[in-house]
Structure 1
Amino acid sequence: MPTAPDFPPAPDFSKPVRALISLSDKTGLIEAAKALHTAGVEIISTGGTRAAISAAGVPVKDVADLTQFPEMMDGRVKTLHPKVHGGLLAYRDAPEHAKALTDHDIAPIDIVWIDLYPFEATIAAGGAFEAAIENIDIGGPAMIRSSAKNHGYVAVCVDKAGVDQVLAAISETGGTTLALRKSLAAKAFARTAAYDSAVSTWFAAQLNDTAPERLTIGASRLQTMRYGENPHQTAAFYKTGENRPGVATARQLQGKELSYNNVADTDAAIELVAEFDPATQAACVIVKHANPCGVAVGEDLISAYQRALECDPVSAFGGIVALNRRLDRKTAEKIVEVFTEVVVAPEVDDDVIEVFAAKKNLRLLVTGSLPDPLAGGNVFRSVAGGLLIQSRDTARITPADLKIVTKRQPTPTEIQDMLFAFTVAKHVKSNAVVFAKDGRTAGIGAGQMNRRDSTRIASLRAKEAAEGLGLADSLAKGSACASEAFFPFPDGLLEAAAAGATAVIQPGGSIKDADVIAAADEAGLTMAFTGIRVFRH
């Protein structure tokens, strides 16, 4: 292992003499090149970057002139040369390094601006294997890492924001401080790490390796939050390379910054509302504390929203509203009647913004499209000292998947209610029990330590919702009851029957299945087994 050499300390202030620039995205290039030239900094560049600078009338030196070695192999080899990396890695104040620079005619390089080949953009656009391979940058990361390692003398920039910082420092003081160079180096190492992570993750996917020996995650910060789940916790929001519509890719049209809890709840709402095809039915999901409290479909959004709200108006206060269709003004006017934290939809009509403008704190998000509930991908959870990773739950039950285990067969309406209830239960924290009827939830019981209590809570919600609507009977009367895992004993099922459910859908698989089926028969229920459990912890 190399030991730290006995070199003089890096200077706090460094006046740049030479800059190396190589960019794929040339936004801001000409302005920066002109500013560097005006400051007396010599510019070295390659290929298209050099051509663009030269075309703008700014003096620029080709890397090939510096190395006295031509580009070769379609540009794959051009900067991997001692005259480049020697100029980046040399300690200017170390006599041995200074002598090597002189003996080998190597010019120190003080500023580096490199943005890397667009590998992430290539794979996001669905580029072929060969195209992705060709967009893996080799020389760029090598130069960035060399510069970042030698931040005592080199200011390394991996984006325009970094260049702007360097140019501002030069304009103000004529050079860069050690503190600035350290900050830029940290950012540079993070960039190359994220880049390598994107490559390794993509390559593992090409090999269908769902659990590679080494897992890397590259993410870019979208937002530093005021706090986390609670005010004493710090938090930030990051975007990974996953190309999935959702809260991380949404445009925020108005409202306060999203909080940590807003992001978690909004994600839950979007993923559930995407289960319902907007081409066949409008759907609304209202989420509170990561659990749906009201879900409904309808002929249009306003009816879907109204029906979802009626399921549990108490819990809906301060909740998240997710819609699967373009949000119209009438629905927006109905939504603002209730205090709502976030509204999210694929698109919104222009006059919706006018409606929400009076509610300045309400966050309005537009996702552009809905996530595909059947698309794969991974989800993560942190534990002390590690990460859990699993594939996304893409289970979807159809009528053909149902195994009717009771004497009484379900009616077509009961089948539809069972499927709706089970779809919602998939998105409710375990233990989960959901009553549903006529395309909307009637009562939801979530996150309990036993299934009987979840059923009781769902029953209570259904009764309270009916009372709020002035109905004599619970909303659970005539409903389907879904359990996301098997009923281990008949007690939960009997609670559902007592609440008024006539149909039950559950995975089955308990050693007590026979007892549960017998209880269902005795109660006159129809019951379907799915054979698939959809826990959500």
Structure 2
Amino acid sequence: MSDLKKMYSTILGDSFPHEMTISFGDQKLVYRKRTWAIPQSDGSTDERGIRYGENPDQEAALYELVNGNLVLGDCRFIEPGNGLVSAIKVEDMLQVGKHPGKINLTDIDNGLNIIKYLVDKPSAVILKHNNPCGAAYGDDLATAFNKALRSDRIAAFGGAVVLSRPCDKETAELLSQNYLEVVCAPEFEEGSLEILSRRANLRIIKIAGIDRLVDFEKYRFVDFKSLIDGGIIVQQSAVNSIRSLDDLSPATASWKGNDYSCKRQPTKREIDDMIFGWAVEHGVTSNSVLYVKDGATVGIGTGEQDRVGVAEIAVHKAYIKYADILCFDTHGIGYADLELAISRNERDRAEKDLIDERVARERADLPGSVMISDAFFPFRDGADVGIAQGVSAILQAGGSMRDFETIEACNEADPPVAMMFTGQRSFKH
């Protein structure tokens, strides 16, 4: 049996070439492997690339696009000179105890993939295993991070944080109170690094390009999926085209000569949450359903095979996370820690009962939230899950033969639920 703990602390190294060239007919893209000479505790430097891949026994390499301008059909793909994660230099690693691994980098990348649609306000995304576990807007950066953290304090443990604005001292204080793997921001204001350095193993990375992420909304890149037989599926990367109310359509349908439409139109707050939620949805593994409220995620369901199931899972997670944050606010410990203490007769069961009663009464803060679905509801049962929890509005792709049933579900709700269509699917696999 391998010593897994030792493997985690070892740099595997890689056998990948320094350069890689991919030809598309007579067009070529040239990539250069990224390595970093990171100072060691003994005063030496160790120049290596990625620490290891998804697991400690997988070699991996990071390549940056350095030459070639690819045009296929009417799409001009992203050009060299726009590096973000692939262009991180040693001097951008403001604190790094060890070389980054593939998961660290892909978490940052997906955080940038989400936050590029949220840079108009102070915003924060916390990621774990390439999925957001919390995302939020705020009037300031500290508020945004705190809202994202409170969305799922449990999953945020050991996560990666991507911030839309320079990290200030107030935000750094909040970050330093949590165990995180990576904090990434466009800049770190005076005094913030000293606060963050309290976490000796925290990787602190500056990506100056975050301040121009809005430009990346229109860029497409070549998305590769390698198959076990050595084959490759190639596609254009996805682009989120839902950026304002003008990009949404009223939920309407026709069935057997009858026309259907929602009784109630969404409020401005609900529309804002729709646009925010669809941006977050862009970085969530499918099938997925989100619940968002007041510019923050409430529950995130990811990667399920059926839509009603993932809607239920997102609700289940919302209840678990809400109980945990209430317990933490009240007792300074997590809900699971409270349960363990009760089982050991170290705390009164009445403490847990009070939290459970409040969670049930407040329905995990789901009432008034907006339900986001990355594709249409094939049946009304998925929407019914959210409606039963008190969502006030739904955003979905539309296009199902049974859209009329989901519209009926919204109209039958008390009070009626608003719904809009994107006309765009947002799958991510």
Q: TM-score, normalised by structure 2?
A: 0.73
Q: CA deviation at 1:343?
A: 0.4
What SS class does the counterpart of residue 364 from structure 1 fall into?
A: strand
Distance in 1 (CA, whole Å) between partners of 2:169 and 2:247 is 40
Query: Which of residues 369, 380, 388 in structure 2 aligns to 1:490?
Result: 380
Question: 1:439 aligns to what?
Answer: 295
Does 1:464 pair with 2:304? no
- Give the structure 1 partner of residue 234 of structure 2: 389
CA contact under 8 A between 2:118 and 2:279: conserved in structure 1? no
Evaluate the alpha carbon distance shift between residue 417 and residue 328 of structure 1 in structure 2; reply closer, same or farther with a 3 A threshold: same
**Helix, strand or coil: the match of 1:380?**
strand
- Could you list the runs of 5+ residues in structure 2 that have no partner in the other structure? 1-15, 36-48, 67-79, 252-261, 327-357
Q: Are the equivalent residues in 2 in contact too, given 1:404–1:526 (CA < 8 A)?
A: no
Preserved contact between residue 465 and residue 475 of structure 1 (Cα < 8 Å): no
Give the corresponding residue for 2:95. 254
Q: Distance in 2 between matches of 1:269 and 1:435?
A: 18
Indicate if the aligned counterparts of 1:228 and 1:234 stay in contact, CA closer than 8 A: yes
Aligned-residue offset at 1:387: 2.9
Residue in structure 1 matching 2:55, options 230, 233, 247: 230
1:536 aligns with 2:348: no
- Per the alignment, residue 264 of structure 2 pairs with 408
Shift of 1:404: 2.1
Counterpart among 288, 302, 305 of residue 145 in structure 2: 305
C-alpha change, 1:532 and 1:352, in structure 2 (3 Å) is same
How far, CA to CA, are the matches of 2:27 and 2:57 in structure 1? 30
Asked whether the equivalents of residues 154 and 321 of structure 2 are also in contact (C-alpha less than 8 Å), the reply is no
Shift of 1:309: 0.2
Measured after TM superposition, the shift of residue 261 of structure 1 is 0.9
Which moved further from structure 2: 252-261 or 304-313?
252-261
Letter of the structure 2 residue corresponding to residue 276 of structure 1: L
Q: Amino acid of the residue matched to residue 267 of structure 2?
A: T
1-structure distance, mates of 2:191, 2:220: 36
| 1:361 CA displacement | 1.5
Q: Decide which structure has greater strand share.
A: 2
Q: Note the alpha carbon deviations across 1:78-106, whole angstroms, 9 max, x for none.
A: xxxxxxxxxxxxxxxxxxxxxxxxxxxxx
| Alpha-carbon distance in 1 for matches of 2:418, 2:248 | 12
Shift of 1:350: 3.2
CA distance in 2, matches of 1:349, 1:517: 49
1:505 aligned onto 2:391? no
In 2, Cα distance between the equivalents of 1:419 and 1:358? Answer: 37
**Distance in 2 between residues matched to 1:294 and 1:309, nearest whole Å:** 6
Q: What is the deviation of 1:354?
A: 1.3
User: Which amino acid counterpart does residue 336 of structure 1 have in structure 2?
Assistant: S
Look up the SS of the partner of 1:220 in the other structure: strand
* d(CA) in 1 for partners of 2:62, 2:216: 23
Partner of 1:314: 154
1:366 aligns with 206
Deviation at 1:369, TM superposition (A): 2.3
Deviation at 1:373, TM superposition (A): 3.8
Tell me, in whole angstroms, the C-alpha distance in 1 between the residues paired with 2:58 and 2:144: 37
Number of aligned positions between the proteins: 333
Amino acid in structure 1 at the alignment position of 2:59: T
Of 105, 109, 113 in structure 2, the residue corresponding to residue 267 of structure 1 is 109
Question: Shift in Å at residue 214 of structure 1?
Answer: 5.6
For the 8 Å contact 2:175–2:196, the answer to whether it is kept is: no
**1:380 touches 1:387 (CA, 8 Å); kept in 2?**
no
Q: Is the contact made by 1:245 and 1:368 (CA closer than 8 Å) also made in structure 2?
A: no
The structure with more helix, counted as a fraction of residues: 1
In structure 2, the partner of 1:13 is none
Q: Report if the CA contact (8 A) 2:220-2:239 is conserved.
A: no
1:322 is paired with a residue whose SS is: strand
Aligned residue for 1:258, secondary structure, equals coil
Tell me what 1:480 maps to: 370
Distance in 1 of aligned mates of 2:296 and 2:305: 25
Across the aligned residues of Structure 1 and Structure 2, the Cα RMSD in angstroms comes to 2.1
2:366 counterpart letter in structure 1: A
Cα shift at 1:496: 1.0
Which string of whole-angstrom CA distances, capped at 9 and with x for unpartnered residues, describes residues 24-83 of structure 1?
Answer: xxxxxxxxxxxxxxxxxxxxxxxxxxxxxxxxxxxxxxxxxxxxxxxxxxxxxxxxxxxx
| Unmatched runs of 5 consecutive residues or more in structure 1 | 1-185, 201-211
Contact 2:241 / 2:247 at 8 angstroms: preserved in 1?
no
Q: What residue is the counterpart of 2:181 in the other structure?
A: 341
Q: 1:464 and 1:215 mapped to 2: Cα distance? A: 51
CA contact (8 A) 1:376 1:391 kept: no
Structure with the bigger RCO (C-alpha within 8 Å, sep 6+) is: 2
Q: What do the CA deviations read for 1:414-434 (whole angstroms, capped 9, x no partner)? A: 111122112211211101111
Moved more, 382-391 or 511-520: 382-391
Cα contact 1:379–1:390 (8 A) shared by 2: yes
Q: Quick one: distance in 1 between partners of 2:177 and 2:234?
A: 40
> Displacement of 1:268 after TM fit?
0.6
Say whether the 8 Å CA contact 2:53–2:59 is kept in structure 1.
yes
Q: Distance in 1 between matches of 2:216 and 2:420?
A: 23
* Cα distance in 1 between the residues matched to 2:27 and 2:54: 27
Structure-1 residue corresponding to 2:33:
221
3-state SS of paired residue (2:367):
coil
Identify the match of residue 311 of structure 2 among 444, 455, 461: 455
Change (3 A) 1:334 1:510: same
Q: Which residue of 2 aligns with 1:153?
A: none
- Selected match of 2:282 from 426, 437, 455: 426
Q: Is the 8 A contact 1:375 1:394 kept in 2?
A: yes
Distance 1:486 1:462 in 2: 22
TM-score, L = length of structure 1: 0.59
Q: Post-superposition shift, 1:227?
A: 2.2
Q: For residues 265-318 of structure 1, what are the alpha-carbon distances to aligned partners after superposition, in whole Å with 9 as ceiling and x for unaligned? A: 11111221121124xx20000001111010001111111000000000000000
Supply the distance in 2 between the matched residues of 1:465 and 1:245 (Cα, whole angstroms).
Answer: 36
Q: Name which one, 1 or 2, has greater alpha-carbon Rg.
A: 1
**Alignment-derived partner of residue 69 in structure 2:** none
* Equivalent residues of 1:421, 1:436 under 8 A apart: yes
5 Å matches for 1:41-440? 194=21, 212-213=24-25, 216-223=28-35, 224-241=49-66, 242-250=80-88, 251-255=92-96, 256-278=98-120, 281-370=121-210, 371=213, 372-384=215-227, 385-397=230-242, 398-405=244-251, 406-440=262-296
Counterparts in 2 of 1:531 and 1:413: CA distance versus 1, 3 Å: same
**2:257 aligned residue:** none
- AA at the equivalent of 1:491: D
